[in-house]
Amino acid sequence: MNFIGTALIGLVLSGTALAFSEWDGLSNPDIIRSGFTHRLYDLPLEGAIFYGPRGWSGHYWPSIKGGINNRWNSRREKDQYDFVSPTRDQIFRMNANQLSTLSPSEKYDIFMGRYDFPLKQEVYSHARRDGKEWEGICHGWALVSLMYDEPTAVTLRNPDGINVPFGSADVKALLSYYYAWHVDAAPARQIGQRCNFGRWTGGQRACDDDLNAGAFHIVLTNKIALQKEGFVMDVERWDEVWNQPVIGYSSRVVGTYTRPSPSAARNAVSELKLATTVWYVDEDEPSWYPNFGTNNQVFAKKELIYRLELDSQGQIVGGAWESEERPDFVWSRPKETSFQGILARLPLLLKN
């Protein structure tokens, strides 16, 4: 149900399938961050980060429903792609309940005193009425879910004295949109690349080499267990992109091999097979109030099986997937220090 921006995809290093299963180029864990611990026995078999007020469920704001132009809080108009926004005179006559049914973009425009709705118009430039059902701004939501405390409902007064009510989902939508379309892609760091093929590839690359299993384990264990930081994972192996915030994992050794397989990394001397459960935050429908403590807060998991290839020092030097389930790519980026452009006043809607 997700889409990742083309600018971020372009950061991935180009490369061809590897003859051996050590990582190279696009799968090097140092792309995410240099200095990771690679020695297997220094990496915990389980780890987890926060469960609130960060790591909150949000919505991916599907393109085919107008993105954050969707009037999610309106029973009559929530499934419409487009609609006519109220005039300035009409807005002055609207009560709080009526204003609450407008879209996140409309509310922000009114808060800014912009009755010509410039943000709403910009949002439509990214939305696609004929898009695929899974396309949206989950690449923005997955990041901000890990970076910001879950937004609460807030009412703010605009320059003309109109009190504009924002639900928790409205603020989440604006945050997600900003990180999806208004931040520089350059600080993002990604290993693996997007698989552009469906499950039946017609003889084309079967997406087997998108992300090395050993590199994935290094990133997973270092980020979650040692650094207590989340990251974003495309949990869907094939053409669709489902960006989700990873918050925990648990691994167990299910096999040991004193001789590496023929396709193992050149300097591998042994292998271990791991069964790993990866926990991540899942999406849910928009709601007026925060999700934590309610059924709207949703977690999900992936069960992964892979081999780790070790050198004589116990360092992870490669790996290979055994399960059909596997991530397509993982990535992260730093939090913005300020907001610019059309959403420059968005911090006024936040507590942090």
Residue range 304-347, pLDDT digits in tens:
999 999 999 999 999 999 998 999 999 999 999 999 999 999 99
Q: Which two tokens stand for residue 143?
A: 């990041």
Q: Are residues 179 and 259 in the same domain?
A: no
Both 298 and 311 in a single domain? yes
Residue 274 lies in a domain: yes
Distance (Å, whole) CA 23 – CA 58: 33
Residue 17 confidence (pLDDT) above 50: no
Q: Is residue 342 domain-shared with residue 326, that is, in the same domain?
A: no
- Inside any domain, residue 224: yes
State the pLDDT at residue 9. Answer: 36
Contacts of 38 (CB under 8 A, 6+ apart): 29, 218, 315, 316, 317
**Same structural domain for residues 179 and 212?**
no
Assigned domain for 47 exists: yes
Domain range for residue 84?
A: 63-185+337-349
Q: Is 249 part of a structural domain of the chain?
A: yes
Q: How many domains does the chain have?
A: 2
Considering the domain boundaries, does residue 7 fall inside one?
no
- Residue 186's pLDDT band (cuts 50, 70, 90): confident
Whether 68 and 24 map to the same domain: the answer is no
Over residues 137-152, the mean pLDDT reads 96
Question: What pTM, to 2 d.p., does this model score?
Answer: 0.90
Q: What is the rounded distance in angstroms from the CA atom of residue 318 to the CA atom of residue 258?
A: 15
Q: Is residue 192 part of a domain?
A: no
Q: Is residue 195 part of a domain?
A: no
One domain for residues 219 and 323: yes
Q: Are residues 129 and 222 located together in one domain of the fold?
A: no
Tell me, yes or no, whether 83 and 164 share the same domain. Answer: yes
